[in-house]
Structure 1
Amino acid sequence: MGSKNKAKKAEEKKSKNTESMDDLKAKEHIEQLQRLQEKDPEFYEFLKEHDQELLDFDEEDLEIDEEEKENEEEETEHLTLAAENEEEPSKNTVTSAMVDTWCNAIQDSANLGAVRSLMRAFRTACHYGDDSGDDNSTKFSVMSSSVFNKIMLFVLTEMDGILRGLLRLPTSGGKKETIMDLMTTRPWKNHNNLVKSYLGNALHVLNQMTDTEMISFTLRKLRNSSVFLAAFPVLLRKYIKVALHFWGTGGGALPIVSFLLLRDLCIRLGSDCLDDCIKGMYKGYVLNCQLVNATKLQHIQFLGNCFIELLRVDLLSSYQHAFTYIRQLALILKEALSESTKKKEIYRKVYQWKYINCLELWTGAICANSSEGDLRPLAYPLSQIISGVARLVPTAQYFPLRLRCVRMLNRIAASTGTLIPVSLLLLDMLEIKELHKPPTGGVGKAVDLRAVLKVSKTTLKTRAFQEACVFSVVEELTEHLAQWSYSVAFFELSFVPSVRLRNFCKSTKVERFRREMRNLIRQINTNSEFTNKKRATVSFLPNDPEVASFLEDEKKSEASPLSQYAATLRQRAQQRDDTMMESSVLIGEKSSTFGNKTEDDDEEEDDDNSRWGKGARVFNSAWLPGRDSKIKLKEEEKKEKTRKQKDPQEQTALDEDVVEDLFLSSDEDRDENGSVSDTTDAEDVESERTITKRQKPPLGSSKKKRKVHDKKSKKRKRVNRT
C-alpha cells in the first residue's frame, strides 16, 4: 500500500508541474501580445485582419482551463467520499450514490468534472454485457441494474442541454452551417470529445437493444442532438443505417420515430444526407413489398407515405432519384416487350409485386406533388409505363393487375388535370366469354382484387370473380368519366364507351350485369344532357382559353350526375372491401398511442418526477442479455446436460410421456364403469400401444407382410392381458 501511495503522489506532482508550465507559457504569450501592440501597432492590426484567433487568446481561456481543473479535483473528491460511504465496494463499481452526486453537481452548478465522470459511466452502461466489459482501460466496469437505469435515463434526457450549454448553442434547433462554424471555436476544441462519446456510445447501445419501446425512447431523445452528427460523417452514416433498419422492420411506434429522426437529419444536414436516406428508404420499401396480402397493404402504404414525405424535403434533389428509378422501371418493361426475348421468362419481372408497388409508389409521389413543377414532368413517362404494363399480357387471369394500373392512371389524370384514355383498357375486360354466360364454376369465394395480381383459371368461372370484375370495371369507368363530366367535349368523349356498354348489355345473359350497365348508361346520357344544355348557350371555340371556365361553378360543388353517381359507387366499394377484410393491421400499431405519448412526454419534461417515472417504465434492464444473464444461461445449460447424463431414465420417461399423450386407451381396457381398472395396467396398455405404433409396417409393404404383422400384434396383446 505504501508503494502505491508514493506512486500516486509522484504522478500528482508531475501533473501539477506540467499544469504550472502550461500556465506560465500561456501568461508569457499574453504578455508578448501586449508588448507587440505597444511596439508595433501596424503589425498588430495586420494580425487582427488575418489571424484573429491568435489575438483572441486571453486570460478567459486560462480561467476556463482552471475551472475545468478545479471541477475535476472536486469530482475526485466526490468519488472518494462516495467510495468511503460504501461498506465493501469494488474499485471499479459505480454506485447509486456516485450517480446521484454527479447528477446533483451537474444540475446545480454545471460541474464539468461530474459531466466527464458521468460520460465514463455512460460508456460503461452502453457496453454493459459486452465481452470487453472487464477491460482494465475503462475506469468503471461494474454496476447494478438500478444504477444502469439511472445513468441511461439521465444522460439521454439531459445531455443534449448540457452539451449545448458547454458549446454556447441555442437550446434547440440548428443546422449544418452552425456546427461547421462552431468547429473552429475554442469551446468545440475543449468539449468535442464529450459530443462524440455521447453519440458514439448511444449508437452502440442502439445496436444492442431488443425492446421496441426502449429503442423508440432512445431515438426520440437522440433526435434533439441530431445536428451534432454534421461534425462526424462516419457516425452519421451509421445512424442513418440503424434508423433505416428500424423504420423498415420495427413494430409499434418505432417506424414513426425512426422516420422522424431521418427526416430531421435531412432537414438539418442538407442534400448529402438526403441522398443516402432516399436510397435507403427506397430499398427498404422494395424489400417490404415483395409479398402482399390484405393485412400487409396498410404497412406498405405507410412506408410509401413516409418515402413521399421525405421527397418533399428537397424536390430538386428528389427529381434526380425519381428520374433514375422510373427509368429503371421503363428499361425492365422494354426488355419484356422486345421480340428478341422470351416473354414467358421476362414478363414475370414486370408482373410481380415489387414492380407494381414501385409504380404505386411513384404514382403517389407525383400525385402528392402535382401542384409543384419539379416532379410533374415525370407524370407522362410514368403513365406510359403503366399503360404498357396493363397491355403486356392481355389475359383474363391478370385482370386484377390491369385494374390496379387503371386506378393509378385515374389518380395521375385527376391530380395533373390531363386526359389519359383508360376507357379502352376497361372495356376490353368486358369481352371475355365468361361474362356473357352464367358462371359454370359455382359461387366461389370472394376475391379481393386489391390483394392479388393473378387469379386461377377455375376462379375465372366463379360467380364471385365475375361480379367483382364487372363491378370494378363500372367503378373505374365511372371515375374516369366523372373527371371529365364538366368538360365541353363530354358528349364526344363518352360516345364510344356508351356504344360498347350497350353491346355488352345485348350480348350478356347475366341479368345483374345487364342491370348494372344500364344504370351506368343512364347516368352517362343524363350527364351528356347536362353538359349539352350549357354548351348550347356558349359562343367560344374549342381552342379558346374560356373553355377552362366551362361549368366551373358546378365543378366546385360536384353537381354533375356522374360525380354524384361516382360517390355512391365509392361507398359501395368501401363496404365491399370492409366485409372482405379478415383483419385490420395498423403499422405503427400503437401510432395513435405514440402520438399521445409524445405530447405527454413534452409536458412531462418540466416535471422531473413524472419524467423519471415515465422513463423507468420504458427503460428497464431486461432489454439486453447482459453478462449476468449470459452466464446464467450457460450454467443452466451445463446443469441440464449433467442431469441428463446422470439420470438417462428420466429423459426416456419424459419422451414416453410425450408419445403417450398422442394415444387413447381402447374400450377393451376399461372396466364396466368406463374407467381404467389399475394404474399399472393402464401404463402397460399405453406402453404396448406405443410399441405397436412404432412397429407398424411401411406403407409400401405387401399384403402378406401386413397380415403377418397383424397376427403378431394380436398375440402380444393377448400376452399382455394375461
Structure 2
Amino acid sequence: MPKSKATKKFEKNHLKDTLEKRKEAKKFKLREQAKLKRKARNAQDNEKAEPLASEVQKGSKHGEEDANGNPFGEMSVDDFFQGGFEIPAMDDPKDAQKRKEPAPKTGKRKRSAEKETKGSGSSEESEGEKAGSADIESSEGEDDHKEQLEALAKNDPEFYKYLKDNDAELLDFDEDVDLGDLQLSDDEEEDTEGPNKKRKANGKIPKGKDGELTKSMVKNWKSAMVGQHSLAAMKEVIMAFRAAAHLNETDGAKYKYSISSPDAYHELLVVALKHVPEVLQHHLPVKDVSSGKARVPTNTQAFKTLNPTIRSHTMAVVHLMSTLSDASTLKMTLSSLLPIVPYIQIHKKLVREVVKAVTTVWSTPSTAEATRIAAFLVLRRLVVIGDAVIKEVVLKSAYQGLVKGTRTTSMHTIAGINLMKNSAAELFGLDPDIGYTTGFTFIRQLAIHLRSSITNTSKESYKQVYNWQYIHSLDFWSRVLSAHCTSLSEAVSGGESPLRPLVYPVTQVTLGAMRLIPTAQYFPLRFQLVRALLRLSRATGTYIPLAASLYEVLNSAEMRKAPKQSTLRPLDFELEIRAPKTYLKTRVYQDGIGEQVVELMSEFFVLWSKNIAFPELALPVVVMLKRWYKDASGARKKSGPAQTAQDLLMKDRGNKNGKVNSSVHLLIQKLEANSRWIEERRAKVEFAPNNRSQVDAFLKDVDWEKTPLGAFVDGQRKGREEKTKMIQLARQQDKDKKRNEVDDDDEIVEEAGVQEEDDEEMIDMDDELPDEDVDEDEDEDEGEEMESESE
C-alpha cells in the first residue's frame, strides 16, 4: 500500500525528532525501573539484617559464623561495602575476648531491639547514635587497616600489585592524613549515608558551599597528580573541568562542582589541560612506531577502566573550544588535545566531533596564526596515526573548512588563507592514495559547477564560478599537486606520485574557468588563475599553454584604445578578482593590466628558457606582440612627401600609453635575445631530435638566471619584492597611526570625563554653602557695582 502524503511529510519533518524522544523516554524509564529495583533490594536486605541485629543485642557472639560456615552470614551488599572492605579474621582468643567486651557508653554500634520497640515506631536513628557509630567504625578501621593490607598481600598478591602500580594512594596509609583533601564522586555521595553525612557536617571533607570549587582544592589535586600521578585526583579534576566547560549555561544540567571564583577557574583549566595528559601517559603509555603510528594497549584492564574518563574529558575539551575567544587559552586547549588523540581512535563518533571543532578553529578568519598552527598539528596527528576512515574524515573536513574560510578576501585575511591552503596541502600529501580519491571527488565537483555555468544561460549562472571560494579552491589544488608531484619528491618515494593523474583535470577546469567571461572587468580573476597554473607547471614540469590567454588580454579593447585620466589609486591584483566599474577605461587600470601581462608572460617563458625548442615556442608570440606594438604605438610611414588618410588613422588608433608599450617592447627584445642564445648553443650539439635523453639533458648544468630572459625575470622579481616590502611598511605605519589616534581620543575622553566630575563636585560644594556666606557674597558684589557706577 503506498504511503499517504501525511505519512511522507511526517517522515521528512518529524520522524527523526520523534525517534529521539522515544529513545530518551525509554532511557528514563529504564533508569526509573533500575532505581525501584535497587530500593526494593535494599529494603529486602535491611529486613534480613534486622534479625541479625536483634541476635547480636541479645548476646550472640559478634564473630560467630552461620550454619554453613559463611563469616558474612546474611549481610547485605550495602552493609558489606559500608564496612570498609573489612576482612574477618580467623578465630583468635584475643579477638574473641575483645568481642565479648561491652562497647563504650558514648557510642553503641547498634541499637537494641528493645529500644526499637519502645520508640514511636519509627526506624530512624538519632544523630548522636550515628555519630557514635561513625567514631567507633573509623577508629577500628584505623587500627586494623595495616593488618588487612598485609593479609591482602599474602592472600591475593596479584590484586595487591595492581593496586600498588595503579593507585598507590590506597596503600599509602597514614593515620595523620588530612581527609579534608579527599572528595567523593557523585555515586559515592548518593549512596553514602550516616557517618559520612556527619563527617561533612564536622568539616573533615570540605567541599565548599554546595560543592563550591576552591583554589586550594585544585592545588591539592595538582600536587597529587604531579607527585603521585593519582588517578583519583585526575578523575576529580575532570569532573570539575566538565562543570567549568559548561559554566553559565542554562540547559538545566547538574554537576558535582560549582565555580564562582575566577582564580579557581583559571587554575582548574591549567591543571586539567596540562596535567591530565601526563597522568594518562603514565598509566597508559603510548608506543610510537617507526612508521609514525601510535599504539595504545586497548585490551588491558587499565584502558577499559579509564576509557569512560578519557571520553568525558575529551568531550569537555571540545565543548570548551566552542566557548573560548582568548587566543592563548585556545592554543593551550588545542595543545592539550594533541597527546589525547591516540586514546580516542576507537571512538569514531567522538573523533568526528573533535575534527569538526578543531577545523572550525583552524578555518576561522579571526583566529590568530599561532592558534591555527596548533589546530593544524592536531589534524596532522589524526592523519598520521589514524586509519583510512579517520584520514578521509580529516581531509574532507579540512577542505570544507578551507572553502568556508575563504568567503571574503582582503589584505587582512590573505595571510591566514595562504596558511590554510599550505597546511591543508600538506595533509593531502601524508597519504597520497586517500588524498587522490578525496581530491578527485572535489575536483569533479568543481567541474560540475563549471559545466552548469556554461550550459545555463541565465545572467546569474556565472556567479557560482566567479567567486573567491571557487578561485581559492582551484589555487589550493594547484598547491597540493605542486607540493607532492615534483621530480624530487617522486625520486625520494621511488615512483610517480598517486596525485599526478589529477594534474590534467585541474588544468582543464582552471582553463575553462579562466575563459568563461572574457571581459575586462574579470581580468584580475584571469591573472589569479594564470598564477596557479604557472605554479603547477613549474613544479610538475608540465607544459600548459598560457601565452594565448595572456595575449587575449593584451589584444582586448581595454588595451588598444587610449585611456582616460583618473586619480584612482592602483588596483591590487592579488586581492581582487573583479575590477570596479570606475576603473574601466582608465589610465591606472591600463597600466596595471600591462604590468601583469608582461610579468606573467615573462614568468611563463622563463620556465622553458633552457629548452632546446625555445625559439620555435617563442616565435609565434613574438610575431603577435610585434604586431600589437605597432598598432598600439600608432606607427606610420616615415617616407613620402605627404601623410595619407591611413597614416592619420593609424596615428589616432594607438593607446597613447608609452609605459605599457615600452614594457611590451622590452619583453620582445628579451625573447628574441634568448632565442638567439639557444640557437647558438643548439648549433653545437651532435645528437638528433629523436634522442630524448640528450634533448632533456640540454643545458641542464646551466642556471636559468644566466639566460638572457632569466636575468631579466630575476631583476623584475627583486624589484617587485622591494615594492611589496615598501607597501607592507606603509600599511603597518598607517595601522600604528590609527591606533595612536584612537589612544589619543580615549585620553581626551577620559580627561573630559574627569573635568566633568570636577565641575559636578564644585557645583555640589556651592549648593552646600550656608546662607550667611551667600549673603556676604551678594553684599560684596553689590558694593563693587556701586563703586564702578560712581567712578
TM-score interval, smaller chain: 0.5 to 0.7
The 3 A distance-change label for structure 1 pair 106 and 351 is closer
**1:327 match:** 444
> Is 1:105 paired with 2:224?
yes
The counterpart of 1:429, out of the listed 534, 550, 553, is 553
| Contact 2:362–2:371 under 8 Å retained in 1 | yes
**2:684 match:** 537
The 3 A distance-change label for structure 1 pair 581 and 145 is closer
| Contact 2:507–2:533 under 8 Å retained in 1 | yes
The Cα offsets for residues 395-430 of structure 1, whole Å up to 9 and x where unpaired, read as 222222222222222222211212221111111222
Q: Distance in 1 between matches of 2:379 and 2:76?
A: 51
Give the C-alpha shift of residue 333 in structure 1.
Answer: 1.8
The 3 A distance-change label for structure 1 pair 142 and 314 is same
SS in 1 for 2:701: helix
**1:297 match:** 414
| Contact 2:163–2:170 under 8 Å retained in 1 | no
**2:147 match:** none
Q: Distance in 1 between matches of 2:434 and 2:410?
A: 33
The counterpart of 1:313, out of the listed 404, 425, 430, is 430
SS in 2 for 1:528: helix
- Return 122-131 or 221-230, whichever deviates more: 122-131
SS in 2 for 1:558: helix
- Return 489-498 or 273-282, whichever deviates more: 273-282
Give the C-alpha shift of residue 287 in structure 1.
Answer: 1.6
The Cα offsets for residues 667-693 of structure 1, whole Å up to 9 and x where unpaired, read as xxxxxxxxxxxxxxxxxxxxxxxxxxx
Give the C-alpha shift of residue 227 in structure 1.
Answer: 1.0
The 3 A distance-change label for structure 1 pair 211 and 160 is same
Give the C-alpha shift of residue 282 in structure 1.
Answer: 1.3
Give the C-alpha shift of residue 247 in structure 1.
Answer: 0.9
The 3 A distance-change label for structure 1 pair 203 and 356 is closer
**What does 1:244-283 correspond to in 2, within 5 Å?**
244-249=359-364, 250-252=366-368, 253-283=370-400
**2:501 match:** 377
Give the C-alpha shift of residue 85 in structure 1.
Answer: 7.2
**1:222 match:** 337
**1:190 match:** 305
- What is the identity, as a one-letter code, of the residue corresponding to 1:251? T
Structure having the larger proportion of residues in helix? 1
- What is the identity, as a one-letter code, of the residue corresponding to 1:103? K
**What does 1:30-49 correspond to in 2, within 5 Å?**
none
Q: Distance in 1 between matches of 2:253 and 2:448?
A: 56
Give the C-alpha shift of residue 385 in structure 1.
Answer: 1.6
The counterpart of 2:526, out of the listed 376, 382, 402, is 402
The counterpart of 1:517, out of the listed 636, 650, 664, is 664
**2:159 match:** 61
- Return 517-526 or 95-104, whichever deviates more: 95-104
| Contact 1:330–1:385 under 8 Å retained in 2 | yes
**What does 1:189-208 correspond to in 2, within 5 Å?**
189-208=304-323
> Is 1:455 paired with 2:597?
no
Give the C-alpha shift of residue 12 in structure 1.
Answer: 7.1
The Cα offsets for residues 214-233 of structure 1, whole Å up to 9 and x where unpaired, read as 11112112212221111333
Give the C-alpha shift of residue 154 in structure 1.
Answer: 2.1
The 3 A distance-change label for structure 1 pair 100 and 376 is same
The Cα offsets for residues 10-62 of structure 1, whole Å up to 9 and x where unpaired, read as 997430569579999xxxxxxxxxxxxxxxxxxxxxxxxxxxxxxxx974135
> Is 1:496 paired with 2:620?
yes
Q: Distance in 2 between matches of 1:139 and 1:411?
A: 57
SS in 1 for 2:671: helix
Q: Distance in 1 between matches of 2:240 and 2:174?
A: 13
The counterpart of 1:71, out of the listed 161, 170, 179, is 170
SS in 1 for 2:435: helix
Give the C-alpha shift of residue 561 in structure 1.
Answer: 0.4
The 3 A distance-change label for structure 1 pair 412 and 14 is same
The Cα offsets for residues 197-240 of structure 1, whole Å up to 9 and x where unpaired, read as 33233333333333222111121122122211113333222111
> Is 1:144 paired with 2:261?
yes
- Return 201-210 or 469-478, whichever deviates more: 201-210
The counterpart of 1:121, out of the listed 240, 245, 264, is 240
> Is 1:473 paired with 2:590?
no
**2:58 match:** none
| Contact 1:73–1:113 under 8 Å retained in 2 | no
| Contact 1:282–1:307 under 8 Å retained in 2 | yes
The counterpart of 2:467, out of the listed 324, 344, 352, is 352
> Is 1:552 paired with 2:700?
yes
**2:148 match:** none
SS in 1 for 2:688: coil
Q: Distance in 2 between matches of 1:114 and 1:451?
A: 53
The 3 A distance-change label for structure 1 pair 191 and 21 is farther
- Return 219-228 or 96-105, whichever deviates more: 96-105
Give the C-alpha shift of residue 319 in structure 1.
Answer: 0.5
The Cα offsets for residues 545-573 of structure 1, whole Å up to 9 and x where unpaired, read as 2101111111x353110011111222333
The counterpart of 2:453, out of the listed 322, 329, 336, is 336
- What is the identity, as a one-letter code, of the residue corresponding to 2:463? R
The 3 A distance-change label for structure 1 pair 78 and 168 is farther
User: How many percent identity over aligned positions?
Assistant: 27
Q: Distance in 2 between matches of 1:402 and 1:442?
A: 24
**1:387 match:** 511
- What is the identity, as a one-letter code, of the residue corresponding to 1:255? R
Which structure has the larger Rg? Answer: 2
> Is 1:15 paired with 2:81?
yes
The counterpart of 2:212, out of the listed 93, 97, 109, is 93
Q: Distance in 2 between matches of 1:320 and 1:506?
A: 51
Q: Distance in 2 between matches of 1:553 and 1:294?
A: 40
The 3 A distance-change label for structure 1 pair 435 and 120 is closer
Q: Distance in 1 between matches of 2:417 and 2:260?
A: 43
Of structures 1 and 2, the one scoring higher in RCO (CA 8 A, sep 6+) is 1
Q: Distance in 1 between matches of 2:395 and 2:361?
A: 15
The Cα offsets for residues 448-494 of structure 1, whole Å up to 9 and x where unpaired, read as 22222222455232111111111211111111111111111111111
- The aligned length equals 541
Q: Distance in 2 between matches of 1:23 and 1:537?
A: 106
SS in 1 for 2:322: helix
**2:271 match:** 154
RMSD of Structure 2 on Structure 1 (CA): 3.6
Stretches of structure 2 lacking an aligned partner (at least 5 in a row): 1-48, 51-74, 91-154, 183-199, 491-496, 634-655, 733-755, 757-791
| Contact 1:337–1:343 under 8 Å retained in 2 | no
Q: Distance in 1 between matches of 2:82 and 2:545?
A: 85
**2:775 match:** none
| Contact 2:289–2:295 under 8 Å retained in 1 | no
| Contact 1:444–1:463 under 8 Å retained in 2 | no
- What is the identity, as a one-letter code, of the residue corresponding to 1:547? V
Give the C-alpha shift of residue 350 in structure 1.
Answer: 1.8
Q: Distance in 2 between matches of 1:463 and 1:578?
A: 25
The 3 A distance-change label for structure 1 pair 108 and 403 is closer
Q: What is the TM-score with the length of structure 2 in the denominator? A: 0.62
